[in-house]
Copies of this chain bind each other. A is one copy, B any other.
Amino acid sequence: MKKLFFFLFTLITLNVCAQEIVIGKKHQIESKVLNENREYWVSLPSSYRKNGYKKYPVLYFTDANLNSFFHAFSGITKQMSSDASPQIPEMIVVGIVSQNRVRDSAPTNSLVQWGGTATKALETTGGADNFLKFLQTELVPHIEQNYHTADYRILAGYSFTGLTVIHSLYQTPEFFNAYMAIDPSLWWDNQIMLKRFREFSKKELSKRQLFVSTSERVPSLYPKENYVIEFIQKLEASPVKGLNVHAKVFGTDQNHHTMQIMSFYLGLKNIFSGYMIDDAIRFRPATELKAHFENISDKLGVNLKPREGLVNFFGYNRLYDNQFPTNSAAAIEFFKLNAEYYPESYNAWDSLGEAYWHEKEYKLALDAYKKSTQLNPGNSNAKEKIKEINTQLN
C-alpha cells in the first residue's frame, strides 16, 4: 500500500487554526537512589506507535532544560533519520532535566571552580556515581519497560555534564553503547579524569564508541590549557581496545558556548558512521541494501534496519517510476525484504501483494494479501484484492 510512499510533489494538509506543535512530553520518575523526583523529557520517532512492532535505539542526554537543547537535539535527530538518505536510525530521545547539575555531574568533591578559585556553590559535588546509579538502575530500566527500545543506548552531555559521560565510560563502559561528550569539563578537580585515564585505558571494551569535541581556546581570563585536547591525545597515544574514538577540535570560529549544534550533529554522524545510504541504492538489488544493514548492525553490535517507509518507497519507486525504467522484479525484492524486516506490518505484506498482483503472480499475491488481512482485518484494500484474485483463479 502506498500510504507510506513519499509525497515529494504534492502535499495537501490543512489543519485547524492555531494548533499547537508538540515535539514531546515531560515526565517524572521518583528516584529512590537520589531521594527526589526527577524530570525527563521524551521525543518519539515519527514512526513510533504505542502498540507498534518497531524498536528504537535510545539517546539519553543531560541538560534538557538548558539552551533549547531538547528542541534542537531532538529535531536534529529526527531530521537526520528522515528523508531518502538517512544518516542515523530513528531514535527515542530522552532529555534529562538538570536539577542539581554540579552534584550529579562531578565524580569527585571539590570546591575549586573553573578559573582556580573556590566556591561554596560546589559543596554538593561528588554525586556522579549516584547519578549514574539512578540512570542505570532507575531511569533506563523505566524507559526500556515503557517504550519499544532496541538494545542500543547513547549517553550525551555537554560541558559539566560531559564529565558524567566520561565518568560513565570509565566506570561502566558496557552500559551505554556510545558516548558523546561535548567540550567536557576535564579541568575538574586537578584534571582527575586525565589522571584516571591510565587505569581506564587497560580495559577491554566491545564495539563501544566515543565522540568528543572541543575548540581551540581563545585568550581570556580563564586558563588557556585545553584538557580535552590532552584527553584526545591520550586516547590516540593509548588506544582503548574496543573503543572507537571520534574527535573534533573546532577552530576559534567556535567556542565552548557555540559548538553544541555542530558537535551534536557530528557526534551522531560519527557514531553511526557507515549507516548512511544514498537513495540511489534503490537502483541496485535489494540484497545490497540488506548487506549494508547487516554490516552496520555487526559493526555497532545491534540489529539495525532501514525505515519501513523508506524500503516501501524504494519498492514503489522501482514498480511505478516515471523517471527511469521500472523493474518489477527488483521492486518485489524490496517488498519481500521489507516483509522480512517487518513481518508484523500489514502494510509491508499489502505492498508485496500489490507488486505480485502487478506481475500477475496471483497465488503469491493472494498469500501476501492474506497475511496482511490477518495482521489487520480492517485492511479493506487487501480484502477486495483477495476477492478479485479468487475470481481470477477460479
Assess the B67–A9 pair: CB atoms within 8 A.
Answer: no
Residues of chain B contacted by A12 (CB below 8 angstroms): 99-100
- Within 8 Å CB of A323, what residues of B? 113-115, 117, 119
Which A residues lie at the B interface, using CB under 8 A? 8-28, 37, 39, 41, 43, 46, 65-76, 78-80, 82-85, 87, 97-102, 113-115, 117, 119, 121-122, 218, 220-222, 255-258, 260-262, 265, 276, 278-280, 283, 322-324
User: Is A37 a contact partner of B23 (Cβ separation < 8 A)?
Assistant: no
Interchain residue pairs with CB less than 8 A apart (25): A8-B101, A9-B121, A11-B97, A11-B101, A15-B26, A17-B27, A20-B20, A20-B26, A21-B23, A23-B71, A67-B83, A68-B79, A71-B71, A71-B74, A71-B78, A71-B79, A72-B72, A72-B75, A72-B79, A76-B261, A83-B258, A85-B255, A222-B280, A257-B279, A261-B265
Closest to A12 in B: B99
Which residues of B have CB within 8 Å of A84? 257
Contact in complex: B65, A13 (CB < 8 Å): yes
Q: Are A322 and B119 in contact (CB under 8 A)?
A: yes
Is B65 a contact partner of A71 (Cβ separation < 8 A)? no
Query: In the complex, are the beta carbons of A278 and B265 less than 8 A apart?
Result: no
Shortest Cβ distance from residue A292 to the other chain B in the assembled complex, whole angstroms:
15
Q: Chain B residues near A79 (CB, 8 Å)?
A: 67-69, 71-72, 260-261
CA distance A262 to B266 in the complex (A): 9
- Please name all residues of chain B whose beta carbon is closer than 8 Å to the beta carbon of A76 when the two chains form the complex: 72, 75-76, 261
Q: Is the CB of B102 within 8 A of A280?
A: no
Contacts of A82 in B (CB 8 A): 67-68
Apart from the given pairs A11-B66, A11-B97, A11-B98, 19 other A-B contacts in the complex at a CB distance below 8 Å: A9-B101, A10-B99, A10-B100, A11-B100, A12-B100, A17-B27, A17-B28, A20-B26, A21-B24, A21-B25, A72-B78, A73-B75, A75-B75, A113-B323, A119-B322, A218-B278, A218-B280, A221-B283, A261-B265
A255 CB to nearest B CB, Å: 6
Report the separation of the CA atoms of residues A283 and B324 in the bound assembly, to the nearest whole angstrom: 62
Decide if A27 touches B20 in the complex (CB within 8 Å): no
Residue among B14, B28, B279 making CB contact with A14, cutoff 8 Å? B28
State A28–B27 Cα separation when bound (angstroms): 31
User: Shortest 9 CB-CB distances between A and B: which pairs?
Assistant: A85-B257, A72-B75, A71-B75, A68-B78, A220-B280, A75-B75, A72-B79, A19-B26, A21-B24
A279 to chain B, nearest CB (A): 6
Contact of A278 among B66, B69, B220 (CB under 8 A): B220
In chain B, what residue has the closest Cβ to A25?
A: B18
- Which residues in B have their C-beta under 8 angstroms from that of A39? 13-15
Rounded to whole angstroms, the CA-CA distance of A222 and B65 in the bound complex is 44
B13 touches A41 (CB 8 A): no
In this complex, which of A12, A21, A22, A85 has the most chain B Cβ atoms within 10 angstroms of its Cβ? A21
A220–B117 CA distance with the chains assembled, in angstroms: 59
